[in-house]
Each structure stands twice: as C-alpha cells, then as structure tokens.
Amino acid sequence: MKTIKHLIGDQETIGSTGRSQPVFNPATGEQIAEVVLGAAAEIDAAVRAAKQAFESWSDTPPTKRARVMFALREVMNRRRDEIAKTISLEHGKTHDDALGEVTRALEVVEYASGIAAHLQGDFSRDVGPGIDSFAERQPLGVVAGITPFNFPSMVPLWMIPMALACGNTFVLKPSERDPSSANLIFDLFREAGLPDGVLNIVHGGKAAVDAVLDHQEIQAVSFVGSTPIAEYVYTRGCASGKRVQALGGAKNHMIIMPDADLTQAVDALMGAGFGSAGERCMAISVAVPIGEETADRLVEKLAPQVAALKIGPASDPQSEMGPIITNEAKQRISDCIAAGEKEGAKVVVDGRGLKLQGYEDGFWLGGTLLDNVTADMSVYKTEIFGPVLSVLRAKDYAEAVKLINTHEYGNGTAIFTRDGDAARDFAKRIKVGMVGVNVPIPVPVATHSFGGWKRSSFGAHGIYGPEAVHFYTRLKTVTSRWPTGIRSGAQFTFPSMD
C-alpha cells in the first residue's frame, strides 16, 4: 500500500513520530494509502530547509521567479488530467469538477507570472533639498499555508505561487484526508525548475498545525477551513507575532426575485448547491425566494431536478455529484437533516440512505431539499457543508436583505433578478464579501482577491490577487540624500523636508 510522505528540502521522509492514518477512496470506502503524520520536529526541519533556501530565492530577480511560474503553467496544462484524477480519487468529486478546480488554480499561477509588475515600487525626487524617497515591497521570509480537503489542489495553489513569486519560501500543511494532491503539486514545481527547499510539504493533524502557529521563524500563515478553526489559527498565530489570514465557513444565500428567470435560477441552484456534493465554502446552501408564489414555483421546479441528480463515481462521465469525503462527514450531514426535520422543516427530497450498486461501501448521500426552513432552525444556522439546499421564504426584498445581513457568516451571496435597480441596491447594501448578480458562485477571478466578511474571514487581507501581494510582502521606504557640500548643522526638530 502506498505511503504518502513528507517532502522537506529535496528529501522524501516518513519523519520521526511513527504516526500515520489511512487515506480512503470515498467512492468505494476502501483504504488506498496511508499518510504519515508529522509534528513539531517535521515542521522545524521544513522551516530550516525553507530558511536556508530563502536567501538565494529572495535575491532571485522577480522576472526569474516569474519564469518558474510560467514553466509551472506549462507543466500543469500538460498534466491537467493527471491532477484531476488525483483530486477525484481521494476527494470523490467528479472529473469535470476536478478539472474546473485545476483551471481556477491555473488562473492564480498566471497572475503570479506577472509578479514583476505587481512588485514595482514608487520613487519621488526632491521631496526635500537634495532628498529623494522611494518605496519597495520586500518578502517576509518563511511563510506557511494550512489548507482544507475540499480543494486539495486549488487552495494550495491560491497561496504558494503568490508567496513564492513575491520572494518567500513556503511550508505547506495540507489536509490529511486527501494528501496526494499536495505531493503532486511539489512534483509539478520541481519539474518547473523550483530550487530545493523553496517549497516543503509536511502532513499532519493538530500537532502539525500548532507547530506551524508557534514556530518563531514562520512569518505569516494563510489558512482556509471552518470558522472555529480559522478563529483558533488567527488567535494563536497572531499571539506568536505572525501575520495571519484565516478564511472560515459560510452560509451563502441566493435571493430569487419574483421577476427572475426561474429556469436560470433553478439551474444555478442545482450547480451551486450540489456541485462537489456541497463541500464548498462558496456553495449556495440557502435559497431565499421572495413571496409565496415565487417560492411555490421554485420548489416545484427544483424538487424533480434534485431527485434526478446523477450521483456516481468520478470514473463515470455521466456523474453530476460524487460521494462525501468521509463516512463521519456523511453521518454528520444526515444528523443535520434529521435535526431540521424535527424542528419543522419539510423534507421535499431526502438524500439519506442512498446506496449505489457496486459501490455499497462508499460514502454516498443524495441531494436533499428542505422547504419552510426558518431562521431559528439549526439547519439554517449551521454550515452543513454537504448536498443540502434549504428554502427559506421571505415576504419581501427587505426581509431577505436583513436575513443575510444579520447572519454570522458573510462569505458569498447572490441575487437573481431582471431589475437593475434591485441588483445595484443589493450589491451596495449587502454585508457580504463576494456578491453575484445572476451569478451563483461569485468566486473572483485571479486579478481580484477572494475573501469574506464577518465570521467568514479573520485578518485584513484577502487571498490571491493584489491582496496577496500585500500579505506576502512588507513595505520599506527609503529616504536618501547624497553629500552636496551643503552644511546646515544638527537638526533637533522633527524633519519636515523644508
């Protein structure tokens, strides 16, 4: 059976803890590998390798660092199908969905390829008598990323290319549930010409996370995961003096106005609610139709499509939705559905109890549609992170906006309407970081930055794009004067440059 090891410097190692855990194929439920679990010693070794590599890598001109990103893009395009298959094998998402993940990762690689332009400084001549001033952005040093299971290639590649292009070296602690994608990323970078030690991979659980957060040589940490862990990472990382961006959970709403194209809205809800089995922080999990008539028509159109979802393994090109990541996650989602039913939600389509012929031991759950959900129900308050779509009926637009603005999460949201005035008002008033107008999953392109509001994000900077350049660099301003024969004596007042 394959053993997935740490990658530190130029070495593959099992580390010193003697601990490991199984890795499963969610479609079959069978163990397909084991991953070694590191802790403080492995993190320290990775940091030492990264620190040793930092001096030469940070002195490498940005244009040469960009060439590695250009080469990475070519490698990823050539091996795109292999990357997608690696994702699907351990995560379970369909092959087409995995290919979409690769495409979004590539966008950030392409943005990082233009890093020379993004690191340009400012220069001002004669800010005072014979005095010039210039500002530049310099890398931080060794930085780290802690990434989730749901996008085992995309999220690491939202972080690593930007951090490396800015001149930092990197330690990645990926999810231990689907770790092979991280090791494949390491191979892709190596093929692209990245020097040894610039990128390091340490697998592990909480012990490895805590070692990252506490290590004094790690200057910054980027995290994506659930809100409770994001808050923990932010608090502990900041306490040890680190720069931290920690992206947390979500409860994303989609308002359906009475004038919306209902067919378009239903198609959007199907893809945004059930794609990747709902295991996305940008998934739409709450549909908010305005008015009873709109709600009735929406549920009438939605129900047969949810019931007809083609659920199967990634190897079946007809599959629209794959399995849940683990059996424990499947049970937790089923418990959430049961709690919603007990609290009064109507189970219009029930995905529990699904069995797939030939895959009886897989972690399968069908699409679930709940109607008459209310804001006081646990099924509404909780981030379910599964293929469960709740319909919460609002009497008018104002009630729907208040509903979204008072929710603790503020990651993504959308409105479907033909009314430009309503859409413009929504985009301005809604207290959410990423907004879609007739776009159900408004993940920004790489030239912008990804980030939520409220308890969906901790820290000042979004991930990738221009925000990432600021996160992975620090500003230095230099004020200089060269001898000109002018002698004015000592100055004891605060310098004014007059």
Q: Supply the pLDDT for residue 490.
A: 72
Among 166, 238, 281, 336, the active-site one is: 281
Q: Supply the pLDDT for residue 111.
A: 97
Q: What DSSP letter does each residue of 311-344 carry, written as one string?
A: B--TTSTT-SB---S-HHHHHHHHHHHHHHHHHT
Distance from C-alpha of 30 to C-alpha of 361, rounded to nearest angstrom? 8
Supply φ then ψ for residue 428, to 5 degrees.
Answer: -80, -45
Closest CA to 143 of 245, 42, 70: 245
Q: Supply the pLDDT for residue 488.
A: 65
pLDDT tens-digit map of 389-418: 999 999 999 999 999 999 999 999 999 999
Q: Supply the pLDDT for residue 493.
A: 72
Sequence-separated (6 or more) residues with CB below 8 Å from residue 75: 188, 191, 192
Sequence-separated (6 or more) residues with CB below 8 Å from residue 274: 306, 309, 320, 321, 367, 387, 389
Find tokens 């592990």 and name the residue.
204
Instruction: Identify whether the C-beta of residue 213 lies closer than 8 Å to the C-beta of residue 233.
Output: yes
DSSP alpha helix (H) spans, 10-61: 40-59
pLDDT tens-digit map of 335-377: 999 999 999 999 999 999 999 999 999 999 999 999 999 999 9
- Beta strand segments in 350-449, E: 368-371, 388-391, 409-410, 412-416, 434-437
Across the strands, what pairs with 326? none
pTM over 0.75: yes
Q: Supply the pLDDT for residue 415.
A: 98
CA distances from 82 to 3, 95, 147 (A): 19, 10, 20
Structure token pair of residue 121 = 């400084």
Q: Supply the pLDDT for residue 130.
A: 87
Q: Judging by DSSP bridges, how do beta strands 388-391 and 284-289 pair with one another?
A: parallel
Q: What ranges do the domains of the chain cover? A: 2-248+456-478, 252-437
Instruction: Identify whether the C-beta of residue 68 lies closer than 8 Å to the C-beta of residue 164.
Output: yes
The three-point CA angle 243-247-252 to 5° equals 155
Q: Supply the pLDDT for residue 323.
A: 98
- What kind of fold does domain 252-437 have according to CATH? Aldehyde Dehydrogenase; Chain A, domain 2 (3.40.309)
Active site residue 281: yes
Q: Which CATH superfamily is domain 2-248+456-478 in?
A: Aldehyde Dehydrogenase; Chain A, domain 1 (3.40.605.10)
Sequence-separated (6 or more) residues with CB below 8 Å from residue 359: 27, 28, 29, 312, 313, 323
Instruction: Identify whether the C-beta of residue 37 lies closer than 8 Å to the C-beta of residue 11.
Output: no
**Going residue by residue through the chain (498 aa), what tens digit of pLDDT does each one get?**
899 999 999 999 999 999 999 999 999 999 999 999 999 999 999 999 999 999 999 999 999 999 999 999 999 999 999 999 999 999 999 999 999 999 999 999 999 999 999 999 999 999 988 899 999 999 999 999 999 999 999 999 999 999 999 999 999 999 999 999 999 999 999 999 999 999 999 999 999 999 999 999 999 999 999 999 999 999 999 999 999 999 999 999 999 999 999 999 999 999 999 999 999 999 999 999 999 999 999 999 999 999 999 999 999 999 999 999 999 999 999 999 999 999 999 999 999 999 999 999 999 999 999 999 999 999 999 999 999 999 999 999 999 999 999 999 999 999 999 999 999 999 999 999 999 999 999 999 999 999 999 999 999 889 999 999 999 999 999 999 987 766 666 777 777 766
Distance from C-alpha of 268 to C-alpha of 279, rounded to nearest angstrom? 16
